[in-house]
Amino acid sequence: MDLSGKTIFISGGTGSFGKACIEALLAEHDPRVIRVFSRDELKQSELQARYVGESRLRFFLGDVRDRNRLVGATRGVDLIVHAAALKQVPACEYNPFEAAQTNIVGAENVVAAAIANDVPRTLLLSSDKAVNPVNLYGATKLCAEKIVTQANALAADSLARFASVRYGNVVGSRGSVIPIFLAQADTGRITITDERMTRFWITLRQAVEFVLTRLDLMEGGEVFVPKIPSMRVSEIADAIAPDAERVIVGIRPGEKLSEVLVTEDESRHARELADCYVIHPEFPLWRSDPYTHGSPVPEGFRYSSDTNPEQLTAAELRAMLPTLQTVP
């Protein structure tokens, strides 16, 4: 999709994805305006200082819990990227109502604002934790996906269309195992929850590119899943600190041994493209014609980190480490 001259709204725009998305949009897509929406005035001021003199940025203080503010902030917008969320699993478990207000009610408010303003495209950032969730964060993301998908039925007579992007762990993100291992490497002691544990991995740059390249493909209701590599936690330790002592501490509450991005049930209405899988809605009440992009996946297909044919090796990860920066 040609984003030149477009007005783009990014909720959670001062987060790690938001900042990377802003950088890519300004450097490669020449939008008319990017509206950076977040509730953190300090991060907004820091971002303003980083882009002194950049006339295409607008900074909106606000919370996705506030529907009226969203409606006002998204007037005249061509694209919404909904990246705002409470993401820390323990914090969501301890503050369940807060997680629900931001991740579920916030998604509903974004949908309502997009419909009210006839925003042509809205993309939600989801997570592998939304698949068969075992923690509250994942459950809220599952709800957000369902809200965004069925928003297409509410908006059937308008220009607004909605879809989601679901991917795995971002390399180097806060709270992920890689920065933890990097910090522990100097101590000579690495703590591993379970050596069998596997995860999907994607770089922040890849996540941004994937989101922006789905815009031409979305017709409304899809969940886009990128084809990305997996890796065992034990192999990450091998890459970062091969000589360090290993201490097995056991799986943490709210964790799984492996993550799934496409389930067997979802495979019945999923299709495969060259770089991704597309999960189509089971109840596309807003359209009568079938989705035709790509080809159907095999019956019983399951895209899981433990059986993923694309595995990131220790050598490949080690090659990334000299340039790896922890995502702020």
Exposed/middle/buried for residue 33 (C-beta within 10 Å: 0-12, 13-18, 19+) = middle
229 and 308 Cβ atoms separated by less than 8 Å: yes
How many C-beta atoms lie closer than 10 Å to residue 28's C-beta? 11
Tell me the one-letter amino acid at 218: M
Alpha-carbon distance values, 16 to 190, 196, 314 (Å): 26, 29, 25
- Alpha carbons within 13 angstroms on the beta-carbon side of residue 95 total 11
Determine the 3-state secondary structure of 39 from DSSP: coil
Q: Catalytic residues, which ones?
A: 129
Mapping DSSP onto H, E and C, the string for 132-183 reads CCCCHHHHHHHHHHHHHHHHHHHCCCCCCEEEEEEECEECCCCCCHHHHHHH
Name the phi and psi angles at 203, rounded to 5. -85, 160
Only one residue has tokens 């019945």, namely: 268
129 and 99 Cβ atoms separated by less than 8 Å: no
| Tokens encoding 3 | 């984003």
Cite the DSSP H helix spans in 11-162: 16-28, 41-50, 67-73, 89-94, 96-100, 106-116, 136-154
Determine the 3-state secondary structure of 249 from DSSP: coil
Would you mind telling me the total number of residues written for the chain in this entry?
328
